[in-house]
């Protein structure tokens, strides 16, 4: 175990105003926790950093309970069971759970799920086979529902969710246009993932490009981003369009709700439907999603990428990089082998 009988763990040092900064995070060296009855001690291998975590740093209502100042930060972790006190998992087993940002953490056995990635690296339990993959799966299948021939736009298309969502929609026969923030990302989408087209929003006007790429309008929009990119897509919705609102990363660092053009009249004109969703509402079907995604990866029909940052001490940077679009595919932090 790292450092003998101690472990390192991140706590919320203070609530960020606007963009989180190093002062937001407090890395403490603490005594290695002992698992109580029904608990296990887990050695973290990979930690997932995700945009929704910004929202938990905020006081006030959201769909997640806010973290309190001084609390350990938490996130998706895949790791190895080191000790079990009747937790229903065995030492040596690989598990996934919502654990602390720590080298070692204790969790109730009921919060740990044995990992079966079917021969894929265990990190995929946090990426294509984990929460991001499932979010894409249910968002596409149950909310966005692209039909064959539909023109679908995905924002944040080179991210952990968007890259899977776009591929799943392509497999359903949609013509998928991915919006991402670099030429490298756009090339990945169109050359490797089978997206019909890509728009680099850093170098092109999204509205103009959509006019060219989707002259008959956008039938389906899978939104991970919000803000001006979403304004551009809303301006080009087709009749009976469907919008799945999955994330709004462009807004998460704002303290006040930012303003933008009022678009509801566009929904009348197009008779469009806009629907927000949370993957956790589909929890009873997570096994179905993981199994389906695993089969697609095994068959070579679904590709994925992970951007791995080394070392727990770099977790804040990895998290902050999400807001600059530094990751391609899923951003992970590798904490131990």
148 scored as a contact of a second copy (CB under 8 A): no
Integer Cα distance of 314 and 244 in angstroms: 33
Cα→Cα distances 123→72, 155, 164, 212, 271, Å: 22, 24, 16, 38, 41
Burial class of residue 46 (count of CB atoms within 10 Å of its CB; 0-12, 13-18, 19+):
buried
Query: According to CB under 8 A, which one of 206, 246, 296, 312 is a site residue for a second copy?
Result: 246
281 scored as a contact of a second copy (CB under 8 A): yes
Nearer to a second copy, 62 or 110 (CB): 62
Query: According to CB under 8 A, which one of 69, 171, 278, 308 is a site residue for a second copy?
Result: 278
299 scored as a contact of a second copy (CB under 8 A): no
Integer Cα distance of 102 and 127 in angstroms: 19
Nearer to a second copy, 16 or 194 (CB): 16
Phi first, then psi: give them for residue 229, nearest 5 degrees: -65, -40
216 scored as a contact of a second copy (CB under 8 A): no
Query: According to CB under 8 A, which one of 248, 307, 309, 327 is a site residue for a second copy?
Result: 248
Query: According to CB under 8 A, which one of 33, 72, 194, 227 is a site residue for a second copy?
Result: 227
270 scored as a contact of a second copy (CB under 8 A): yes
257 scored as a contact of a second copy (CB under 8 A): yes
Nearer to a second copy, 41 or 144 (CB): 144
Query: According to CB under 8 A, which one of 20, 133, 226, 294 is a site residue for a second copy?
Result: 226
Query: According to CB under 8 A, which one of 273, 283, 291, 310 is a site residue for a second copy?
Result: 273
Distance of closest approach, residue 251 Cβ to a second copy, in angstroms: 6
Integer Cα distance of 270 and 242 in angstroms: 10
The answer to whether the CB of 216 falls within 8 A of the CB of 151 is yes
Question: What number of residues does the chain have?
Answer: 337
Integer Cα distance of 209 and 110 in angstroms: 49
Nearer to a second copy, 19 or 28 (CB): 19
The stretch among 2-10, 69-77, 187-195, 224-232 that binds a second copy (CB under 8 A) is: 224-232
Q: What is the DSSP string of 122-170?
A: GGGGGTTTSHHHHHHHHIIIIII-PPTT-EEEEESTTBHHHHHHHHHHH
272 scored as a contact of a second copy (CB under 8 A): yes
What does the block give as tokens for 121? 């690296």
Nearer to a second copy, 106 or 279 (CB): 279
Query: According to CB under 8 A, which one of 19, 147, 271, 287 is a site residue for a second copy?
Result: 271
What does the block give as tokens for 58? 């905020």
66 scored as a contact of a second copy (CB under 8 A): no
Q: How does strand 330-334 pair with strand 306-310?
A: parallel
Name 129's bridge partners: none
Nearer to a second copy, 165 or 245 (CB): 245
Q: Number of residues interacting with a second copy: please give it, by CB under 8 A.
A: 36
The stretch among 14-22, 55-63, 125-133, 294-302 that binds a second copy (CB under 8 A) is: 55-63
Integer Cα distance of 337 and 335 in angstroms: 7
**Helix pair 160-171, 131-138: axis angle to 10 deg:** 40
- Which residues contact a second copy by CB under 8 A? 61-63, 223, 226-227, 230, 245-248, 251-252, 257-278, 281
């Amino acid at each position: 175990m790292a450092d003998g009988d101690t472990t390192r763990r991140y706590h919320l040092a203070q609530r960020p105003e606007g963009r989180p900064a190093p002062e937001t995070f407090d890395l403490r060296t603490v005594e290695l926790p002992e698992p109580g009855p029904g608990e296990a001690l887990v050695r973290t291998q990979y930690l997932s950093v995700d945009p929704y975590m910004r929202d938990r740093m905020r006081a006030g209502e959201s769909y997640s309970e806010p973290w309190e100042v001084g609390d350990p930060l938490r996130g998706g972790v895949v790791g190895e069971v080191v000790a079990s006190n009747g937790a229903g998992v065995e030492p040596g087993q690989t598990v996934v759970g919502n654990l602390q940002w720590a080298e070692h953490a204790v969790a109730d056995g009921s919060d740990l799920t044995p990992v079966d990635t079917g021969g894929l690296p265990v990190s995929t339990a946090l990426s294509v086979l984990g929460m991001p993959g499932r979010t894409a799966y249910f968002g596409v299948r149950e909310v966005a529902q692209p039909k064959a021939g539909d023109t679908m736009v995905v924002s944040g298309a080179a991210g952990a969710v968007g890259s899977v969502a776009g591929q799943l929609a392509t497999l359903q026969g949609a013509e998928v246009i991915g919006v991402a923030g670099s030429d490298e990302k756009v090339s990945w989408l169109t050359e490797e993932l089978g997206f019909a087209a890509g728009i680099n929003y850093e170098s092109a006007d999204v509205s103009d490009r959509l006019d060219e790429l989707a002259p008959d309008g956008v039938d389906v929009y899978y939104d991970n981003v919000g803000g001006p990119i979403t304004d551009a897509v809303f301006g080009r919705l087709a009749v009976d369009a469907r919008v799945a609102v999955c994330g709004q990363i462009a807004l998460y660092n704002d303290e006040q709700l930012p303003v933008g053009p009022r678009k509801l009249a566009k929904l009348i004109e197009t008779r469009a439907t806009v629907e927000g969703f949370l993957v956790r509402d589909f929890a009873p079907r997570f096994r179905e999603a993981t199994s389906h995604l695993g089969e697609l990866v095994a068959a070579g029909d679904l590709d994925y990428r992970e951007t791995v940052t080394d070392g727990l001490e770099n977790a804040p940077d990895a998290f902050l990089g999400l807001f600059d679009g530094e990751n391609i595919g899923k951003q992970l932090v590798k904490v131990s082998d």
